[in-house]
Structure 1
Amino acid sequence: MIKVNAIGQTCPIPVIMTKNALKEITEGSIEVTIDNKISKENIEKFSKEMGFSFSTREENGVFFILINKTPSETFPYNNTSNIENNTVIIIASDKMGDGETSLGETLMKGFIYTLTEMEVLPQAILFYNRGVFLTASNETTIKDLKLLEERGVEILSCGACLNFYHLENTISVGSITNMYNIIDKQMKATKVIRP
């Protein structure tokens, strides 16, 4: 049995740790230990969506989730290409949502990190307005975006936006593009995602 200690971790890390542990085995069990009720519910939901049987017990505020995997159970993306041909993600800000700035920045970092753990990836990620800070000055997101680029995702940043924020010489991942290309990519996409 593989034991996954996710105590002290916040979502999406416990789900990603669970997913990675399940990928390591073709058959058997893993036990996830977590001290966060929301993470517990997310791991249970993930297990259910994947078709894995599981049971949960609680001891003094700590949850132990036992997940069982049989050889016939596989991840749903195993038989598909890792690039979703016409999916484009557009990121127009260095934060996610309209609430508290620090929370929004944390959510955006979490969103980009979680993309690196997905089985199926978008064709391209387009950055404009304050989104270009994520490709030019944010070391955490630059590292994750480089991983996505290595896996075949096109990373494009708006040149006019980089110039406006005086970041044109600091772009660290992907390439510089223009509004025509940004619109063209979205018009040709079958799915556009905006976090």
Structure 2
Amino acid sequence: MEFNCTLLTTTEEVDPVEDIAINRGFRLILVEITGALCIVLNSLNIAVLRKAPHCFGESTTLLFTTLAVVDLSTGVIIMFSEIFYVLTEIPNKYPEFCVLIYPLIVLFGILSAMLLACLSFDKLIAITRPLRYSQIVTQKRVKFVVVGVVLLSAMNMIGYWTLILRDSSEIMYFHQNPYTAECTWKKVTETVPMP
């Protein structure tokens, strides 16, 4: 059995600087729209939850409000970090930008996912145990869970920061690639004697 295969290739010369500029512009527009939607819609969620506190139970309202605040913070951080990246040279000159921003984005992303899981669990209990819901899901327990979720997320963020110094012989740091806007790990291989 014989197979004949023809490979058609075309080459097109692309100016990398122009390609990067198009990517940056598209990324800025996309991120800014997403960030603005996060800010506006979560602000509306917070306002509605404050105006109609009896729309949900107290515990569900607390979870929704916490989630809205976390997602609002995510929108603000992502929106302003992208503006800093595109309009200024701060991320390219200062690797501390990545050390600060990346763990914060991870913190709020994990926190948001965990709060969504808590809301899902809250609704599961409301559906499967409607008569015992108010005894199982109390305001005190929900506050305890929210504090626990925040602490777990914060511990994860601290874990990212501790990766910066793995041990005394191998120093790692974040660096933002100016072409792709991605934070990457760089290893310091030179040692400078201390005076």
The TM-score by the shorter chain falls in which range? Answer: under 0.3
Task: Give the TM-score normalised by the residue count of structure 1.
Answer: 0.21
- The structure that has the greater radius of gyration is 2
Whose helix fraction is larger, Structure 1's or Structure 2's? Answer: 2
Whose strand fraction is larger, Structure 1's or Structure 2's? Answer: 1
Task: Give the TM-score normalised by the residue count of structure 2.
Answer: 0.21
